[in-house]
Amino acid sequence: MPRLTDSLTVRLAAVMVAGLVLLQAAVAAVVIWPDGRPMVFRLPPPRDAAAMARALEASPGDVRPLVLEALNQGPMSVQLLPGFPIEPPGAMANRAPRLRRLFDGYARALAERPFRVQVRRDTDDGQGRLGPVRLLVQLRTGEVMIVQRDQTLVQRFSERAFLLAAAALAVMLGVLAVSLRTIRPVGALARAARGLGDDVNAPDLPVRGVREVRALSEALNALKHRVRGLLDDRTRMLAAIAHDLRTYLTRLRLRAEFIADPDQQARAIADLEEMGQLVDDALLFARDATRAPGGEPETLDVRAEFAALVQRRSELGQPVSDATAPGGPLHVRASPIALHRILDNLTDNAVRYGGSAWLRAWREGEIVALAVEDDGPGAPPAALARLTRPFERLEPSRGRGTGGAGLGLAIVEGLAESQGGSLTLENRPEGGLRATVRLKSA
């Protein structure tokens, strides 16, 4: 039976709820937690102060305590003293600039009753931090009313805004860390899944993480096994067909020796050789599509590879030249078999369609570009994108003399991708086609 906490949805929801609860707790703690510091209080409006003074003056002596008790409800603190208390040094009303605008209003509302506004301090020497602000009004009875408003929630919140922001940031960072830890297997799964497109023979994806991630890993593994099985079946089928065709081609080749007409005999033998080469190309493409070429990646010198290719082709009388600009070493990380086959296929195409091949290489940051150019007619821009498709050719025949079966560029693209690179086809401004393979620099 699956556990409730084994779900990605439940985990993310729990993380968000826990984060909100912690944030609310932090806000509450910042707002209501006492720290022993004196606070600055707001003064009552002049109209309220005048109303309280009139109420106390009109109250008989035995009722006045009840009136004081009623006035002390809520955020207001009111008390009576026989006279004005002695002000501490520096506590004059004119030392509170923010309160000056209230003085005229108090004077009008209190109807010439003497009043003072005191700004109290933490210490008696007048040098401490500002404390409560209170209003002192002398009643017509001779007593002094002291009014002081308790601290409001907004004041406490604004005074501790920095602490609140720090607490909220800490909570959100904690929620972010837990969320990233929860979804980390998803990123690892995505990176591993991208590798399946390059090599279906890669190891299975790890089955770990929450239930949804494990289910996705198992589904991708099953899909990979099915695709690999289909590709293996196709390769075995093509291999069997190639084997049987080879048998019949060998028989036909022997029978062609008994053709009396020399011209017809030569044509028949050429057709049989062409059919054999077509079978070999199809089988090679099927094998390269199901697995990467053998051999571990090595650090290869592109300049040395170009020199060796030019020498081999020159011995065959083919016009192949190295046009790479002088400079530092150009090293790539690739399988030697794959690189040799890439360069050979591109050179074959350039010589066959353009009459000659020019090899160039240059560096593009962390990438080394290898280009094979020709002086042929190029290709229509609309056809460039489909030239790498299997059995796709500009010339509709499949004859070897006119270019083969159309598998060369498809094989090159597959080999380049198996080495972590790419193939690009473009027409040269001066004419001809340029095929560029980009591989990672070593």
**Antiparallel, parallel or unpaired: β 320-322 and 298-301:** unpaired
What integer pLDDT is reported at residue 332 of this predicted model? 93
pTM of the predicted protein model? 0.46
Q: What is the mean pLDDT of the chain?
A: 77
pLDDT digits (tens, 9 = 90+) for 327-344: 888 999 988 888 988 998
Q: Where are the alpha helices (DSSP H) in 291-379?
A: 302-315, 336-354
Contacts of 324-331 with C-beta under 8 Å, sequence gap 24+, read 324/359, 324/360, 324/361, 324/362, 325/360, 325/362, 329/301, 329/303, 330/301, 330/302, 330/303, 330/361, 330/362, 330/363, 330/368, 330/441, 331/299, 331/300, 331/301, 331/302, 331/368, 331/441, 331/442
What is the percent of the chain where pLDDT is above 90? 12
Residue 300 dihedral angles phi and psi, to the nearest 5° = -115, 140
Distance, in Å, from the CA atom of 130 to the CA atom of 127, rounded to the nearest integer, reads 9
Mean pLDDT of 353-380: 90
Residues 276 and 303 sit within 8 Å (Cβ to Cβ) = no
Residues 403 and 353 sit within 8 Å (Cβ to Cβ) = yes
Neighbours of 257 (CB within 10 A): 9
Provide the pLDDT confidence category of residue 155 given band limits of 50, 70 and 90: low
Which residues have CB under 8 Å from 131's CB, separation 6+?
38, 39, 40, 119, 120, 121, 122
**Antiparallel, parallel or unpaired: β 357-364 and 320-322:** parallel
What integer pLDDT is reported at residue 208 of this predicted model? 77
The answer to whether residue 400 scores a pLDDT higher than 50 is no
User: Is 297 or 293 the better-scoring residue by pLDDT?
Assistant: 297
Provide the pLDDT confidence category of residue 32 given band limits of 50, 70 and 90: low
User: Is 72 or 400 the better-scoring residue by pLDDT?
Assistant: 72
Distance, in Å, from the CA atom of 113 to the CA atom of 46, rounded to the nearest integer, reads 12
Structure tokens at 53: 């003074």
Q: What is the largest CA-CA distance in the chain?
A: 148
| Alpha carbon separation from 98 to 95, 101, 117, 388 (Å, rounded) | 9, 7, 12, 80
The answer to whether residue 228 scores a pLDDT higher than 90 is no
Provide the pLDDT confidence category of residue 46 given band limits of 50, 70 and 90: confident
